[in-house]
Amino acid sequence: MKKYITLLAAAILLVVSACGNEEISTEEAGSGGSDESNMVPYTTDGGEEIEIPEDPQRIVVLATSYFGNLKQLDANVVGVGNDVENSEVLGPMTEDVELLEPGNVEQVMNLDPDLIITFASDENLDKLKAVAPTIPVDYNSWNYLDIHEELGRIVGKEEEAGQWVEDWEAELAEDKETVQQAVGEDATASVIEQYAKDIYVYGTNWGRGTEIIYQGLGLGVPQKIQDEVVESGWESISAEEIEEYAGDYMFVGSGDGGADNAYRDTAVWNNLDAVENDRVTEFDSQTFYYNDPYSLEHQKEIIVDALTK
């Protein structure tokens, strides 16, 4: 009888211990599992209300235009579209970041991101949303300085982003005085480049140094560009039309490997005032494509030097 009581007591003790351990395990799982309490509401450019991490730790950037912005804000980017490696400024910053192939959602998923930033035009948007909270950015909706501050808010670095914008605008104000002393207050400029057989001219907020040239340094926008390009951001033109969009100063991108740049051998091109007076500055398209803080600093040095030489 005594032996039976002893065995029963032991059994009860095991059950109680098991219940206690189960409670501890449940509490531990609850404290380290779900991060829903750390999610905050965010309204996308399209007006959609979503939840994003308050302090994202593993960010995938498929909208490569913003890679440099996030790096400048010291955000932890774990993956980025592989075209960014072609920039001589941003390429070296991808050493510890996985380069992602276009449209490879599985590659994104394997990085276990807690936030994805892509363009609103991304054809895989629905698939990406199933992987992690995804912010689709409408490039046309943002000024290059405003988007930097917005990205600062997204990653909890609003103050740092605002400080960079303030410092940048102060730099540009000084450079603007220097440039206007060199070229005058009425000088105009154009930015063009060729990809494959298409020649493109750009507006005032479309990378390629346009933000610096027009918004920062205050060079004038040729009327044709003002009327037909500024709103859309870019326009495809023919070689014969270049003179209609040409400014006193021409900034010309290298384009891609398929660009033959044959327009530079035409009479139209060689008769441009900017060409005849040596006011043409060539730039590397893959590097000037971006308008993040690092790329802008690099571009500004080249542009200001070209205008004041």
Domain boundary assignment for the chain: 36-156, 174-308
- CATH top-level class for 36-156? alpha beta
Domains 36-156 and 174-308 equal at CATH topology level: yes
pTM of the model: 0.85
Q: Each residue of 201-250: pLDDT tens digit? A: 999 999 999 999 999 999 999 999 999 999 999 999 999 999 999 999 99
Q: Which residues of 126-157 are buried (b: 16+ CB within 10 A; e: fewer)?
A: eebeebbbbbbbebeebebbebbbbbbebbeb
Residue 260 pLDDT class (50, 70, 90 cuts): confident
pLDDT tens string 61-78: 999 999 999 999 999 999
Q: Return d(Cα 309, Cα 304) in angstroms, integer.
A: 8
Residue whose entry in the numeric block shows the structure tokens 């206690």: 20
CATH superfamily of 174-308: Nitrogenase molybdenum iron protein domain (3.40.50.1980)
Which residue has 């449209």 as its token pair? 103
Q: How far is CA 266 from CA 109, 141, 192, 198, in A?
A: 50, 37, 16, 15
Residue 180: closest CA among 151, 216, 149: 216
**What is the widest separation between alpha-carbon atoms in the chain?**
115
